[in-house]
Amino acid sequence: MVSDRPLKVALLGCGVVGSQVARLMTTHADDLAARIGAPVELAGVAVRRPAKARGGVAPHLVTSDAAGLVGRGDIDVVVELIGGIEPARGLINAAFDAGASVVTANKALLAQDGPALHAAAEEHGADLYFEAAVAGAIPLLRPLRESLAGDKVNRVLGIVNGTTNFILDRMESSGAGYGEALEEATALGYAEADPTADVEGFDAAAKAAILAGIAFHTRVRLDDVHREGITEVTAADIASARKMGCTVKLLAICERAEDGRSVTARVHPAMIPLGHPLASVREAYNAVFVEADAAGQLMFYGPGAGGAPTASAVLGDLVAACRNKLGGGRGPGESAYAALPVSPMGEVVTRYHISLDVVDKPGVLAQCATVFADHGVSIDTVRQTGKDGEAQLVVVTHRAPDAALSGTVEALRRMDTVHGVASIMRVEGE
């Protein structure tokens, strides 16, 4: 049942992931042909600097003319691994115009321009697959889009950035500060020379926007995602978390409001109990919880980045796109019919862990407790430790709207008896 005509694939970008895609297309060629029903041929590889040696890719396939490769008229599937907005966006649109389907790992572009890309795919009857854009090798988007298509997802919560998880894991295990842990991550290749996209949470926020959109069948833009990175997390925060039986993770959290009429998406560091399965996700691994009405609580775990794992996700999508090219039919397109509004961070209901430096005299705890009460925030526990006229109050709240919690913190900062707010962190995973 294997067809003779090979399906032709154009690969755009041949870096860490692209080179693995090219390698696997060669080493797994027979398996891919059997699984698709036709051979798959690497028709060309577009790179910025063709002179640079590309291990395993035949030199005559390498070109710097990406547009020419995409537009040459016989390409069935374009695999876009350039990343960023342009020229990736233009090339993807050119691919659809030329009748090709597209597989991409480009989370930034999808988070910014997903609806337009989906519309272009739809218009041309083509596929747009992007499993590799979120959580690397972990099958997550396909389960959300297809396996849970008959269910109602209420929450997606997970670790979706390997770099920051590596850094926080090192801080946790060695007691190192943020700077030292970042240096180690950079030296080991877990962080890029400019780590901003990872450590400031931009990468995770793009993934949260994609996940929330798919999970809730609505459009969530990158700007809709509340974003805080890990650069302010201190060794003291981690030690303080440990004292409450918690650890600190950078979480992406997408939630449906209890009344079902709006959704929220956010990325920020949070304390989670050591007994929570996400607490034991080490190094650069990713893990994502999905809570659905009927399915209950599901967890997906695996390598969230890296050349070969990400290439595995790309190839899974490539097989799907090729099968559709051969057999007719299309993969799922955009599903945004629910059109739910995205609520601002202030409406998110969560818990705070707050460390305050206060004057060590009677009545201060009561004063502070009054501020919490005035803002409608109920206190779960207070721990007071003091020495040399200075005391520290560590307050953990019950669940309250984020706006009420941040209002409380502002009011605390204005108090004469409060010298400073040493740290604020949300508490999740209970």
Binding residues for L-homoserine: 192
Q: What is the DSSP letter of 328?
A: -
Does 303 bind a second copy (CB under 8 A)? Our answer is yes
Query: Exactly one of 51, 194, 258, 329 binds a second copy (CB under 8 A); which one?
Result: 329
Q: Which DSSP string do the residues of 266-310 spell out, in sequence order? A: EEEEEEEETTSGGGG--TTEEEEEEEETTTEEEEEEEE-SSHHHH
**C-alpha to C-alpha distance for 89 and 95, rounded to whole angstroms:** 10
Instruction: Dig out the tokens for 388 from the structure.
Output: 């040399």
Does 137 bind a second copy (CB under 8 A)? Our answer is yes
Q: Which DSSP string do the residues of 358-370 spell out, in sequence order? A: EE-STTHHHHHHH
The answer to whether residues 145 and 214 touch, using CB atoms and an 8 Å cutoff, is: yes
**C-alpha to C-alpha distance for 64 and 47, rounded to whole angstroms:** 5
- Min dist CB 271 to a second copy, Å, is 20
Does 295 bind a second copy (CB under 8 A)? Our answer is yes
Does 55 bind a second copy (CB under 8 A)? Our answer is no
- Please confirm, yes or no, whether 207 is among the known catalytic residues: yes
Q: How many CA atoms lie within 13 A of 301 on its CB side?
A: 9
Which of these segments, 7-15, 154-162, 221-229, 333-341, binds a second copy (CB under 8 A)? 333-341
- Min dist CB 149 to a second copy, Å, is 4
Does 399 bind a second copy (CB under 8 A)? Our answer is no
Query: Exactly one of 49, 86, 259, 327 binds a second copy (CB under 8 A); which one?
Result: 327
Does 297 bind a second copy (CB under 8 A)? Our answer is yes
Annotated binding-site members for NADPH: 107
- Min dist CB 147 to a second copy, Å, is 3
Query: Exactly one of 59, 179, 245, 277 binds a second copy (CB under 8 A); which one?
Result: 277
Nearest to 206 by CA among 83, 296, 321: 83
- Geometric angle at alpha carbon 149, from 147 and 154, rounded to 5°: 100
Instruction: Dig out the tokens for 425 from the structure.
Output: 């962190």
Closer to a second copy at the Cβ: 114 or 269? 114
Closer to a second copy at the Cβ: 308 or 359? 308
The answer to whether residues 127 and 321 touch, using CB atoms and an 8 Å cutoff, is: yes
Closer to a second copy at the Cβ: 23 or 242? 23
Closer to a second copy at the Cβ: 287 or 377? 287
Nearest to 249 by CA among 380, 159, 185, 316: 159
270 phi and psi angles, rounded to 5 deg: -150, 150
Query: Exactly one of 20, 165, 264, 408 binds a second copy (CB under 8 A); which one?
Result: 20
- Min dist CB 1 to a second copy, Å, is 9
- For residue 110, CA distances in Å to 61, 115, 117, 205, 321 come to 28, 8, 8, 12, 18
Number of other residues whose CB lies within 10 A of the CB of residue 143: 17
- For residue 350, CA distances in Å to 250, 400, 430 come to 15, 6, 10
x/- track of binding to a second copy for residues 206-245 (CB under 8 A): -----------x----------------------------
Q: How many residues sit in the footprint of a second copy (CB under 8 A)?
A: 58
Length of the chain: 430
Which of these segments, 44-52, 65-73, 237-245, 332-340, binds a second copy (CB under 8 A)? 332-340
User: Of the residues 8, 52, 207, 325, which is catalytic?
Assistant: 207
- Min dist CB 169 to a second copy, Å, is 16
Does 148 bind a second copy (CB under 8 A)? Our answer is yes
Which of these segments, 201-209, 262-270, 309-317, 380-388, binds a second copy (CB under 8 A)? 309-317
* Contacting positions for a second copy (CB under 8 A): 20, 24, 28, 31-32, 34-35, 131, 137-139, 142-143, 146-152, 217, 277, 280, 292-303, 306, 308-309, 311-320, 323-324, 327-330, 332, 335, 337-338
Catalytic amino acids? Answer: 207
